Structure 1
């Protein structure tokens, strides 16, 4: 979308006109009218709107609308200076704790990002460094307050995607022999996508591998996503490029093996250098295939005929060994966001209304520390024991609290 068209579409639109649609997208249940995140976001958006009109703030604050204009705030009035002022307004509220200021600002920042995606804004102004500069540093919020998938959430997500993959794979593998070729391709594509998503979810849920070690990072060419030749299902291991800038083997526990094995059989990659988690983005694949077939000497009309013989470009890429890129870390977040919503998983977190990738790693960290202690957990998480103790200090604090309670009980019984 051109900047001129976007500017024209947002001219005169009030900020409040976007709120209900945003809240529906973020809400739960039929019509998107439920969920804790929606309720909290609605409250903060209302406060932001009041501040923007001049109803909140210092006595001399008149809002973001020019003094010579008699109207409600619109998207034309927004820029990074507005969000900087709002960050300063939140930070100046002496009744708010530092991490509460951060939380309130994140609700507004998330809305701003949504507005960019929906075409209301050209730029995510709220994430500009100058806009966020007045925000206070986190006030020592414990790592235990960060999102970590609970056992119930992990089981709900893996159970949902497992059932979905079973259904799609069975639908494909049980098709009658006389099924139309394009219909069969569509069924295979649906099965591949569900199998890929299942494998990804299980890896994130049980391996504690960082999502940046598993998938492609557009800003780091060394992180191009794990490939099949870097996975050994027989040994239960996977080579990944670690955060410490070196290759290392990560463990693949038993729950991960079956989803990966089933997915590999279904995909049947033409070479071992294919990404384990390729993108299914149609625009990316279309451009890749057209360029590659042109490089192979195919004329435009031949390329068109090639593509029309396939229901999806991914299937053509598999047959012709046109290797696609891995999905990105942002792509994984989108998948988890979609699956968390579809599975109707109960999530109560100030920053994420879905099960974020890092939450899978933190959730496994919780399990490992509680079951085997900090030393074993540190080895599995590829962290120092000191760092693991710091990040999961809330567990030790709770255990020490139990020890103190037992000691008091014993003394009372003397």
Structure 2
């Protein structure tokens, strides 16, 4: 056992590992860090005997009263944990594999850092109880069909048109607060339309488009990142760098009319700001207080507006972008109001990744894997793997055509 491991608890190594794997300043952000932290916590509780039935006492010898240490870890421990994950817990095969990979990655890091003498988790005997991976990613199989895409975009387009028309045709003597309410409804409908069109036609990952609370670098696209004239949008890609994504023609008009209606005070304004009233109320109060306004004046100012979003626009108080979870909530609401027929084992609504995957289907069928890979910002190998069913179907058509030709030749030969 390495000397360093003798004075380090498992929990201490967890924090150092997560900092190394995290994103942003101090390694505090990132989805991987969050997911890995969850699984490491489960592993620690299992090792201590705190998560399972009374017949499991953990990995520490029965006659010893202490927390698990690195000295207790060997390939038999990881074999037992693999068996625990694959037990009767209702987990899918690929989910078990994913959970084990988090623990295995930590184990490999421990070897490099001098906590363990060998990568026990990767030994064949340790991994033997794991079920075979079926090759599918959990929850990543939905793809919007052409009918679903058209139904959803038509629905949000009609809602936005109606809301904008209701606002722009108000009589001149309409009460100020009523005008603000109509403008707010138009802005919200226009934002939802623009979001749906971007997700439906650009194939941009939702994590590249909106704010991720676990990754400070993903703050959501701003108007300064968009060039409607050029049909492009700068996004922070999955490969950890900024890159230009295409804005096809169907997206330009919804974004342009939405921008005109919003009239953002600065180019740094988020394209898809949060409309959450509680969040905006807190933001407005804090910002106005920092500007020297007294609480009574802040209250009077807010009373003049139907919604804090409109006050933020007038005062140049920049809100945050909606989050990726916020986008899912919006799509759940819109899928329900549009009454779209959805048959999927995991999602009862049109999930954001389904727009990207559906666009991938269109591109592969129309232009092939190479062009689709460029548009999707993926390797051609990965695109071929993800959309292998298309090639299989095409090969099936070729086989069918070949069989029909052979049968035709056979009948002709017999007739002669």
Tell me if both proteins adopt one fold, taking TM over 0.5 as the criterion: yes
Counterpart position of 1:367: 362
Deviation at 1:88, TM superposition (A): 3.5
Select 1:256's aligned residue among 248, 251, 257: 251
Residue 266 of structure 2 corresponds to residue 271 of structure 1: yes
Counterpart position of 2:77: none
Counterpart position of 1:191: 186
Deviation at 1:407, TM superposition (A): 1.2
- Secondary structure of the 1:224 match is coil
Residue 274 of structure 2 corresponds to residue 241 of structure 1: no
Aligned 8 A contact 1:171 1:187 in 2: yes
- Secondary structure of the 2:186 match is helix
Q: Quick one: distance in 2 between partners of 1:100 and 1:222? A: 28
The superposition leaves residues 129-177 of structure 1 with CA deviations (integer Å, 9 ceiling, x where unpaired) of: xxxxx99564234899810000000000000010000000000000000
Larger Rg: 2
Give the 3 Å change call, closer, same or farther, for CA 91–240 of structure 1 in structure 2: closer
| 1:56-71 to 2 correspondences below 5 Å | none
Counterpart position of 2:401: 406
Select 1:345's aligned residue among 335, 340, 363: 340
The superposition leaves residues 363-413 of structure 1 with CA deviations (integer Å, 9 ceiling, x where unpaired) of: 000000000000000010001111100110110011111111111111122
Q: Quick one: distance in 2 between partners of 1:223 and 1:144? A: 22
- Secondary structure of the 1:239 match is strand
5+ residue gaps, structure 1, are 1-83, 103-133
Counterpart position of 1:121: none
Aligned 8 A contact 1:149 1:363 in 2: yes
Select 1:283's aligned residue among 262, 274, 278: 278
Q: CA RMSD for the aligned pairs?
A: 2.5
Select 2:311's aligned residue among 316, 320, 339: 316
Give the 3 Å change call, closer, same or farther, for CA 397–173 of structure 1 in structure 2: same
Residue 156 of structure 2 corresponds to residue 161 of structure 1: yes
Q: Quick one: distance in 2 between partners of 1:135 and 1:261? A: 52
Aligned 8 A contact 1:143 1:391 in 2: no
5+ residue gaps, structure 2, are 1-82, 98-128, 410-416
Aligned 8 A contact 2:94 2:137 in 1: no
Give the 3 Å change call, closer, same or farther, for CA 136–355 of structure 1 in structure 2: farther
Counterpart position of 1:89: 88
Give the 3 Å change call, closer, same or farther, for CA 248–101 of structure 1 in structure 2: closer
Residue 327 of structure 2 corresponds to residue 332 of structure 1: yes
Counterpart position of 2:171: 176
The normalised TM-score by structure 1 is: 0.68
Select 1:294's aligned residue among 281, 284, 289: 289
Give the 3 Å change call, closer, same or farther, for CA 406–224 of structure 1 in structure 2: same
Give the 3 Å change call, closer, same or farther, for CA 297–136 of structure 1 in structure 2: farther
Aligned 8 A contact 1:242 1:248 in 2: yes
| 1:136-147 to 2 correspondences below 5 Å | 138-141=133-136, 146-147=141-142
Q: Quick one: distance in 2 between partners of 1:291 and 1:143? A: 41
- Secondary structure of the 1:316 match is helix
Q: Quick one: distance in 1 between partners of 2:243 and 2:205? A: 13
- Secondary structure of the 1:326 match is coil
- Secondary structure of the 1:249 match is strand
Q: Quick one: distance in 2 between partners of 1:344 and 1:168? A: 19
Q: Quick one: distance in 2 between partners of 1:240 and 1:340? A: 26
Aligned 8 A contact 2:140 2:353 in 1: no
The superposition leaves residues 245-269 of structure 1 with CA deviations (integer Å, 9 ceiling, x where unpaired) of: 1111100001000100010000000
The normalised TM-score by structure 2 is: 0.68
Counterpart position of 2:206: 211
Deviation at 1:202, TM superposition (A): 0.2
Q: Quick one: distance in 2 between partners of 1:343 and 1:87? A: 40
Deviation at 1:326, TM superposition (A): 0.1
Q: Quick one: distance in 2 between partners of 1:180 and 1:340? A: 33
The superposition leaves residues 160-196 of structure 1 with CA deviations (integer Å, 9 ceiling, x where unpaired) of: 0100000000000000000000000000000000000
Give the 3 Å change call, closer, same or farther, for CA 137–327 of structure 1 in structure 2: farther
Deviation at 1:85, TM superposition (A): 9.4
Residue 221 of structure 2 corresponds to residue 222 of structure 1: no
